[in-house]
A and B are shown apart, each in its own frame.
Chain A
Amino acid sequence: MTRKVVITGLGATTPIGGDVPTMWKNALKGVSGAHTLEDDWVAKYELPVHFAARCSTPALDVLSRVEAKRMDPSTQFGVIAAREAWADSGITEVDHDRLAVAFATGIGGVWTLLDAWDTLKEKGPRRVLPMTVPMLMPNGVAAAVSLDLGARAGAHTPVSACASGTEALHLGLDLIRSGKADVVMCGGAEAAIHPMPLAAFSSMQALSRRNDDPEHASRPYDLGRDGFVMGEGAGALVLEAEEHALARGARIYAELAGTSVTSDSYHITAPDPQGLGATRALKAAMFDGRIQAEDVVHVNAHATSTPVGDKPEYTALRAALGSHVDNVAVSATKSQMGHLLGASGAVEAVLTVLAVYERKAPLTINLENQDPEIPLDVVTSSRALPAGDIVALSNSFGFGGHNAVIAVRSV
C-alpha cells in the first residue's frame, strides 16, 4: 500500500502578495505585479527590457538586517515562504530526523556571485567576503531552510530551470512514499532580477519588450504575446504522510496524488513542438495518482506568454486529456505575477492547492485576442470549481527539456 501524502501548510512571497492570503486574494481579483524598473542599471547597460515583476513585499521588511546579510536574495525569499508554510501547518512537535527539505532554484545565488565578482575586480580578493560561497551555492536555500526548521532527513535542491519548483514536489512525494521522511518542506525560490540575467534572457528573445506597458506584457495565449516577464519570489508547501497529519488532527488542504518528471531530449531550449515530453509527463502524473481524464477540472498551466511555448502545452493537454480538455478550467497565473523561474512551480502549486481547497480558479489577465490555435477554456473571470471529488494539475517546463507535472486531489 502506497503511503498517501497530503499538503498541510502553504507559504509564498510573490509579485502579487508577500504572503499566501494576500497572493490568493489578488490571484482571484486579477492584478499585475509587473512594473517599470527604477534601477539606474537599466539605462547604464542599455537593457532592452525595462520592467519586471518584483516581490510586492521586500525581504528586508520581513527578515532582520543581520539575518538577511547572510543570505542571497533567493534564499531570503525561500526562508520567508518556508516559515509561513511551517506556521500554517500548525506543526508544533516533529521528529527532526524524519523531516526533510526539497527546495529548488533555477539559478541560485546570482546576485551574490556577480556582486562578489564586482568586488574582486574593484577591491581585490581580500574584500570577497567568506560568506560568498554558502550564499551563491544553489543548495543555499535548501540548506538555510533545513537549518531554520531543524530538518535532518536530508536537504535537497532539484535544479531543472523553470521546472525546478515542481520537481521539488515530485521529490518530496517520493521521500515520504519511500519512507525516508514523514514531513517534507518543499518549495522553490528565485531572485534573478539582475541586469545580467535580464540581458541573457533578452538575448534569447525570451522576454517581452512591451516596455511602454509592463502591466499588459505577460499575456499567455493572447495573439499579442511576445515573451515572458521576469518575476521573483518563492513558494513553499508542507507535505506530510497522511497518517502523520491525521494523528495530530491537522487541517489538510489536499492530497498530492501524483507527480512525474520527463525529459524531451529534443533541443536544449526549444520545446518539442508536438509536446511529446509534456504529454508523457501529464500521463505519468495521472497514472501515478490513479487519475482518469474525467476527474480533472482545473489546470494551472505553465503558459509563460512566449510565442513558441504556449501552444505545445495545449497540444500536450489535448493528447493527455482527450476531448475532456474542453471541460477543464485553465489558469495562466504568470499573466499576473510573471515568471518566477525555479520558484514558479512551487508558487503555482500553492495556487493549485488553494484552487482545489477553496473550489475557485485563479484568473488569467491580459487575454484580449485568444490565439485560435489554443482553444482552451481559459479562466478570465470568477470561476467556481465543482463540488465532489476533483483533481487539478499544475505543469512546469524548463530549458533543457525538463517537464514536471503534479496532480492535486481534493480530500
Chain B
Amino acid sequence: MASNEEILAGLAEIVNEETGLAPEAVEMDKSFTEDLDIDSISMMTIVVNAEEKFGVRIPDEEVKNLKTVGDAVSFISGAQAA
C-alpha cells in the first residue's frame, strides 16, 4: 500500500507523461479540468494508467467524481485499503 504522498507523486508522473505538465504543478487541491486543463480523453488515459500503476480499479461512473487531484488520491488510497 502506498502513502498519499506516494500516490500523489505517482499520479503527477502519469499526468506529466500524458500532458507534459510539470509534476510539481500536480497538487492535491488542483482541479483536473479547471486548473490542469485536462480533457476527458486525457483523463481516461490517466485513469487507466493509474489503475495499472496502483493495482486498483476505478469504475467509469466514479471518474466524474474525481474533480481534484486530492479526490483521485483519496479514491486510490481507499481502493488499495479495501
Residues of A within 8 A of B (CB): 64-66, 69, 126-127, 129-131, 134
Secondary structure at chain A's binding surface: helix, strand, loop or mixed? Answer: helix
Does A131 contact B41, Cβ atoms closer than 8 Å? yes
CB distance from B59 to the nearest CB of A (A): 11
Asked whether B19 is an interface residue with its Cβ less than 8 Å from the other chain, the reply is: yes
Q: Decide if B6 is an interface residue (CB 8 Å cutoff).
A: no
Contacting pair B48 A126 (CB below 8 A):
yes
Q: Which residues of B contact A131 (CB under 8 A)?
A: 41, 45
Using a Cβ–Cβ cut-off of 8 Å, how many residues does chain B contribute to the interface with A? 10
CB of B51 within 8 A of CB of A69, answer: no
A-B contact count (CB 8 A): 20
Q: How distant is the Cα of A142 from the Cα of B34 in the complex, in angstroms?
A: 29
Q: How far is the CA of A55 from the CA of B14 in the complex (A)?
A: 30
Most buried by A among B18, B40, B51: B18
B79 within 8 A of A: no
- Set A64, A69, A126: member contacting B18, Cβ < 8 A: A69
Q: What 17 new A-B contacts, CB under 8 Å, besides A129-B44, A129-B45, A130-B44?
A: A64-B20, A65-B20, A66-B18, A66-B19, A66-B20, A69-B18, A126-B48, A126-B51, A127-B48, A127-B52, A129-B48, A130-B40, A130-B41, A130-B45, A131-B41, A131-B45, A134-B41
CB distance from A67 to the nearest CB of B (A): 8
Q: Mark each residue of chain B from 19 to 58: 1 if its CB lies under 8 Å from any CB of chain A, else 0.
A: 1100000000000000000001100110010011000000
Q: Pull 11 A–B residue pairs with CB atoms less than 8 Å apart, ordered by A.
A: A65-B20, A126-B51, A127-B48, A127-B52, A129-B44, A130-B40, A130-B41, A130-B45, A131-B41, A131-B45, A134-B41
Residues of A close to B41: CB separation below 8 A: 130-131, 134
Q: How far is the CB of B14 from chain A (nearest CB, A)?
A: 13
Binding site for A on B (CB under 8 A): 18-20, 40-41, 44-45, 48, 51-52
Residues of chain B within 8 A of A126, CB atoms compared: 48, 51
Closest B residue by C-beta to A64: B20
The residues of A that contact B44 with a CB separation of less than 8 Å are: 129-130
- Residues in A neighbouring B19, C-beta threshold 8 A: 66
Q: How far is the CB of B12 from chain A (nearest CB, A)?
A: 15
- In the complex, the chain B residue whose C-beta lies closest to that of A128 is B48
Question: Smallest CB–CB gap between A50 and chain B, Å?
Answer: 34
Contacts of B48 in A (CB 8 A): 126-127, 129
Q: Which residue of B lies closest to A123 (CB)?
A: B52
Within 8 Å CB of A129, what residues of B?
44-45, 48
Tell me the complex Cα distance, A65–B20, Å: 8
Which of chain B's residues has its CB closest to A134's CB?
A: B41
Q: Could you tell me the distance between the alpha carbons of A188 and B79 in the complex, rounded to whole angstroms?
A: 48
How distant is the Cα of A69 from the Cα of B45 in the complex, in angstroms?
Answer: 11
Report the minimum CB–CB distance from B51 to chain A (whole Å): 7
Report the minimum CB–CB distance from A115 to chain B (whole Å): 14
A131 to B44, CA, bound (A): 9
Task: List 4 A-B pairs, minimum CB-CB distance, nearest first.
Answer: A66-B20, A130-B44, A130-B41, A129-B45
Q: Please name all residues of chain A whose beta carbon is closer than 8 Å to the beta carbon of B52 when the two chains form the complex.
A: 127
Alpha-carbon separation in the docked complex, A66 to B51 (Å):
21
CA distance A126 to B57 in the complex (A): 10
Provide the residues of chain B in CB contact with A69, threshold 8 Å.
Answer: 18
Closest A residue by C-beta to B43 = A130
B47 to chain A, nearest CB (A): 9
Q: Report the bound CA distance from A131 to B39 in whole Å.
A: 11
CB neighbours (8 Å) of B45 from chain A are 129-131
Q: Quick one: closest A residue to B57, CB to CB?
A: A126
Name which residue of chain B comes closest to A65, CB basis: B20
Tell me the minimal C-beta distance from A76 to chain B in angstroms. 16
CA distance A108 to B20 in the complex (A): 26
Min C-beta distance of B44 to chain A, whole Å: 4
Residue of A nearest to B45 (CB): A129
